[in-house]
Structure 1
């Protein structure tokens, strides 16, 4: 049942309809708690939030949103000539060649084509919190399909795999490179490794109510299915995402596949910096790099883990497939709690949305992103 919810924050002239849509979304939530931020051509035009205990600067668990930051780091290193997309992963990380993985290229790895979605017996929480521990186990793991022949979402592990390549070639962790080249220079409230001093701003994830959890559990995939393995349901203690995110060790280490923490402002500002001039700085990616990373790389067909079609560009999710009103090269990444973030080069929009409670139905960006993003695009493209 709808109810009045106080909406805080500001919108630029012409974006009033976005505020109305955000208010309508909040009114439909029994437990509102969300943020929405938007940049247009490098300038912030939307900064909204709602919910008791939530402010514009509150920090939320953003789960797979961190994959966007991880693949931005890889794109920067490719742009620098430090990484070659068509080199084999094993040329950077020799141990990776075990179990028939020696010919897999970095390009295929980034396109989720490695067949290395998890490990036999699953991961412990301590392993999932630490990208280096994940990488160590994956190096000797037999892939679940022949590398390069199909694609499937490497939900908990893609950041550890690409991160190990980054570490081998730079001597720095992916998290360190992100901090030095992206987060700190732009002052982003989007972290791969949350400092202790910022913990008071963290808003814990609230799980779905028991009735909704029971309904979701009834439709859960078999632990030994590809989906079950990818989401670590084959572990002795299957991963509970709310407990995982609310663990300080996870937030501190910032595993790039699953442990990012931030807010809508940080998400939107990062994607704005990729495609637009922000604070006098040139866009992070040159047009040729952007073109390479925003063309489809899934090879067509169905994602073996999620069942989605044409799911991936290069590392990033194909947001133009999910939201057809965006340009075909729109790119970004969702997060399990319902968070969504993307850049749309055609319109100049950069978008960030967060929630503190899992959305009913789980997975990816929550359903309300369709109406919110559509309102944003209408406002952006109707402007003179």
Structure 2
């Protein structure tokens, strides 16, 4: 049985259990006069991109994400609900009339079931798990890959279970377990083991003028193809603090350590400090600034392997329908600027995005290097319809 069939068997058993729970839930909901409800929605997007500084300068693509939601109300404001969605994606790259490349994918985007009450949430399946205070450079981007420049904020989910409990003083705890996630997530250098579950948790508490949290995650990295024959234990520790004192202030840091030496990436340390404020200029000018430090080494912080980026984001609503924003990154190691300008026009369920950028041809933003399509100069036009 290959790994895809094993994953299907595991999650089929899970959803059989959840289905039996839903039958009992329907009986409870009938007694409570609340009826189950079904909702179907979707997001259709299409884009064209011109990037003269890369090998394939013209790209045309489209994506459709159909989503189905089913809710079963229970007594005492409790709820069981389900969500399933898919990512249908395709694009064409054009270098010349006789040099065209095409790619298409169909894969699950979300597939989870959840039980929730006023203080408790349990969610199982393919889901998005993200947390932290940082916005542009996120040391706690452990399980997602959201790009701050992406207007749709799309990211693949992870297979697993998530438990959250909320206390009366706004403190909350998270516990999670992941299994069957073969691809690299977030900042991972080596993907996770196929056969060993990942576990972790998070405790978030209120502090004066804000809140703070500690996070931890353990996994075994599957080292096949990376020069090692066995799995490598990895521990991650995270701290984030958010405060509102006239301006917003936050700190987010993460330390990842492997228990076996794989060279410079045995240890990874990340730190982001940031602030934001909305100035009373015109319709309101939003300003966000972050300073990011990233170090990797065999033993500890190594000044020879230290990257430093500054990020500035500006946002200004031109009208009730139009918004203009800009993001500027500066790479202090290579002395490079990354520039993004983004205009959005909104009509009810239809959105138009025009994105211009001017970046170095050698793209070196950490965790955002999976594609070189935004290297150099370029222009992208995107139309999005939500139904």
TM-score (norm 1): 0.26
- Look at both structures and tell me which one has the larger radius of gyration over its CA atoms: 2
Provide TM-score, normalisation by structure 2: 0.26
Q: Which has the higher strand share?
A: 2
Q: Which has the higher contact order (CA 8 A, sep 6+)?
A: 1
Question: Normalized per residue, which structure has more helix?
Answer: 1
